[in-house]
Amino acid sequence: MTTDRPTGDPWQTATVTEARPETRTAKTFRLALPAPAPRLAGQYYVVRLTAPDGYTASRSYSVASAPNDSGEIELTVERLDGGEVSEFLHDEVVVGDDLEVRGPIGLWFVWEAETPAVLVGGGSGIVPLMAMLRLARQSGQSDLLRMAVSVRTPDDLYYANEITGPETTVAYTRAVPPSSTRPPSRLSEQDLAPLLLPDATAFVCGSPGFADFASGLLLGLGQPVEKIRVERFGPTS
């Protein structure tokens, strides 16, 4: 694998062109980039805030939109209590604001719509997986991809009006929507077994606890350990 070695200042000033809520605690920010670079589904951008005294705070946020030529990216940000950057983005940033960003970053947790993939996301861990699902759908490669998402309640599901499809399963752990035939319960082997495409690479994203739990389910179903890629979301506040 080769690595890009960018020269010059890797930071660019993006403009917020849209900000919309996904859930009570998550917002998607659409950013227009003056210098967009080719990117892969699953990558992230770093957002850097600068105070008048030069103090900076940066956090990484996964891109939720599929790679495209629009020159724009969508970052979905979960608002964490006390989260220095996420609280600012949620409470202060409006359309028209400028934000410093750099990216795309990461060449490991990425999918190029060429080989089978099984995506397993918990809560906000759906974000990089959503870029993969959107890529699969827009490129007509949905046959290559299956996705399971675990959330507490219907109100916690990001991208709710887009998720439903033959390639996706949602596991509600606490409360289910009226249309659901699955009782509220933790994600299980029964949920994942139908999704395991032959030779698939599994992409697991969520909290460390969820990532270990979901990886355990996949291993129990015979998914090879070397074909499980994990992204653990820390307190990306």
Binding footprint of another protein on the chain (CB under 8 A): 1, 3-7, 10-11, 13, 48-60, 84, 88, 92-93, 97-100, 102, 105-109, 208, 212, 215, 219, 225-226, 228-232, 234-236
101 strand-pairing partners: 12, 47
CB 203 within 8 A of CB 120: yes
Closest CB to another protein among residues 21, 216:
216
To the nearest whole angstrom, how small is the minimum distance from the Cβ of residue 165 to another protein? 27
Closest CB to another protein among residues 137, 232:
232
164 strand-pairing partners: none
To the nearest whole angstrom, how small is the minimum distance from the Cβ of residue 161 to another protein? 31
To the nearest whole angstrom, how small is the minimum distance from the Cβ of residue 55 to another protein? 4
Closest CB to another protein among residues 57, 176:
57
Q: 172 in helix, strand or coil?
A: strand
Q: φ and ψ at 73, to 5 degrees? A: -130, 155
Q: φ and ψ at 217, to 5 degrees? A: -60, -45
CB 112 within 8 A of CB 196: no
To the nearest whole angstrom, how small is the minimum distance from the Cβ of residue 91 to another protein? 9
Return the amino acid letter for 123. Answer: G
To the nearest whole angstrom, how small is the minimum distance from the Cβ of residue 51 to another protein? 3
To the nearest whole angstrom, how small is the minimum distance from the Cβ of residue 67 to another protein? 16
Query: d(Cα 183, Cα 181) in Å, to the nearest integer?
Result: 6
Q: φ and ψ at 26, to 5 degrees? A: -130, 140
Closest CB to another protein among residues 48, 152:
48
Closest CB to another protein among residues 161, 225:
225
Respond yes or no on whether the N-terminal peptide bond of residue 128 is cis (omega within 30° of 0): no
Closest CB to another protein among residues 3, 181:
3
User: 10 Å Cβ neighbour count for 137?
Assistant: 16
Return the amino acid letter for 185. Answer: S
